[in-house]
Structure 1
Amino acid sequence: MKASVRPLSLKISEIFLSLQGESSRVGLPSVFVRLTGCPLRCVWCDTAYAFSGGQTMSLPDILAEVARHGVAHVCVTGGEPLAQPACLPLLSKLSDAGYAVSLETSGALDISGVDVRVSRIVDLKAPGSGEFDRNRWQNLALLTSNDELKLVLKDRADYEWARQLIVDCQLAALCPVLLSPVEGELAATTLADWILVDRLPVRFQLQLHKVLWGKMRGR
């Protein structure tokens, strides 16, 4: 008698409907699937509650919950979603189901196994994050025009690092590049002015969900 095969499962922090607050998809109604766990500890992390806890859900249950919300866009985030191996089949199953899928990842883990239909939003860690040494630079060579790079900046030193990286590595030729200020550390207008002075080929962004709802969970 064959043993039954248990469906793959993941530890889920939360699944909720909101407007996409970042990336080129900003403003789009999206279902967010936030996975539990992260090997990084960025000093400005705003989702530390996802480091632990959550509930174990099977892939079929996750897909059913996503479908219940009835929108076309899905964002898989964390924590660091790629820290759970079953994240890869989840991304593929969501793509198979016809969703436009994006993945928010720190860039500290290998992105090569991510389904090619998924837009990988890679958050390169600036020196001020405290996790600069965790950047997996090999990921840059894997980026396509379907992906995006996000750089969150704390101060002028972070900006200078980002500007040099954008020029030296010709990042804008790889994929769209997004620059964001750390809330409470770098004024949004200051970063916007720096970008304009230097004519950087990037997109400035704020976290729309925080503008609308502050730090409310599930938004």
Structure 2
Amino acid sequence: MTVPLPQARDARDPSEPPPPPSDALPIAETFVSVQGEGKLTGVPSWFVRLSGCNLRCAWCDTPYASWAPEKQTRAMADLLDEARRTGVRHAVVTGGEPLLFPRVVELCEGLRAQGMHVTVETAGTLDPAPGAPCDLLSVSPKLSNSAPDPVAFPREHAMHESRRENLPVLRSLLGRQRESGRDLQLKFVVTGPGDLAEIEALLARLEGWEASDVLLMPEGRTREEIGQRSAWVASACVERGWRYCQRLHIELFGNRRGT
């Protein structure tokens, strides 16, 4: 028996929401501020935060893009137009985890085609083909200090620990960025001196980085919490030729969204 196909409708029922564009991305927020972390600290930038993450860091400072993702579906052309209209020359593609979404490659290509310097911020666990083109690849490998409490969050703990380190992907990301001649940074969130041995062990398994590419950022959500760790972190950087990574946006604006 032939099953009849549903009749095509020439017009959508006006009571139905419009279907999302085929090139849409889930966006938690966009805003203009100064870059608060890394090699480009202080540079005026347009931020686009994609909503969704494959990890569950205990100290995550953007839970609205990871643990409990909030999102607005936005078309690529809309995002590119907004970026252009800001008038700033730098764009930061962040999350959550932006590399969860293959179409982020097109977003980066579009931003660079508009003449913008593009930073991509990633945890370094995913590598969408053919890679998201960027001028600065900011990789933040997650250390054991990032795991959520296994008693309070057993499912999230198991998921996080199974995903937080992906050595082949890290090697691929760093290798491609170096081959392109573009810049990179390895940014580590640290909670105590015990993290240093873990960082050194990971770096020993990677190639394509220099000491000046390694940044240590004290974990903390307030100026006071960051300040409690800043002295020993700065000393560790001096001893190893690494960089101290401040959180300028917290210093200037406090721990709030859109900064």
Q: Is the TM value for this pair above 0.5?
A: yes
- For 2:169, the equivalent position in structure 1 comes to 139
Deviation, structure 1 residue 164: 3.6
| Cα gap change, 1:22 to 1:204, in 2 (>3 Å) | same
Note if 1:41 corresponds to 2:56.
yes
Deviation, structure 1 residue 29: 0.1
The structure where strand makes up a greater share of residues is 1
| Cα gap change, 1:159 to 1:112, in 2 (>3 Å) | farther
Provide the alpha-carbon RMSD of the alignment. Answer: 2.2
Identical counterparts, % of pairs: 35
TM-score by length of 2: 0.75
SS at match of 2:187: strand
Q: Which moved more, 1:49-58 or 1:31-40?
A: 49-58
TM-score by length of 1: 0.88
Alignment partners' CA distance in 2, 1:171 and 1:157: 25
Gaps of 5+ in 1: 1-5
For 1:189, which of 231, 237, 246 is the aligned residue? 231
Gaps of 5+ in 2: 1-20, 148-159
Alignment partners' CA distance in 2, 1:150 and 1:100: 19
Alignment partners' CA distance in 2, 1:158 and 1:96: 39
Deviation, structure 1 residue 133: 4.4
For 1:10, which of 25, 48, 53 is the aligned residue? 25
Deviation, structure 1 residue 169: 4.1
Q: Deviations over 1:87-128 (max 9, x none)?
A: 111111111111100100011112663244442111111111
SS at match of 1:189: helix
SS at match of 2:249: helix
8 Å CA contact 2:217–2:246 kept in 1: the answer is yes
Note if 1:180 corresponds to 2:217.
yes
Deviation, structure 1 residue 175: 7.1
8 Å CA contact 1:125–1:132 kept in 2: the answer is no
Runs of 4+ deviating beyond 6 Å = none
For 2:97, which of 80, 94, 97 is the aligned residue? 80
Deviation, structure 1 residue 7: 4.7
Alignment partners' CA distance in 2, 1:206 and 1:200: 17
SS at match of 2:30: strand
- For 1:93, the equivalent position in structure 2 comes to 110
For 1:155, which of 192, 214, 239 is the aligned residue? 192
Alignment partners' CA distance in 2, 1:110 and 1:177: 20
- For 2:131, the equivalent position in structure 1 comes to 114
8 Å CA contact 1:165–1:171 kept in 2: the answer is no
Alignment partners' CA distance in 1, 2:162 and 2:189: 15
Deviation, structure 1 residue 173: 3.1
- For 2:155, the equivalent position in structure 1 comes to none
Note if 1:205 corresponds to 2:222.
no
8 Å CA contact 2:104–2:132 kept in 1: the answer is no
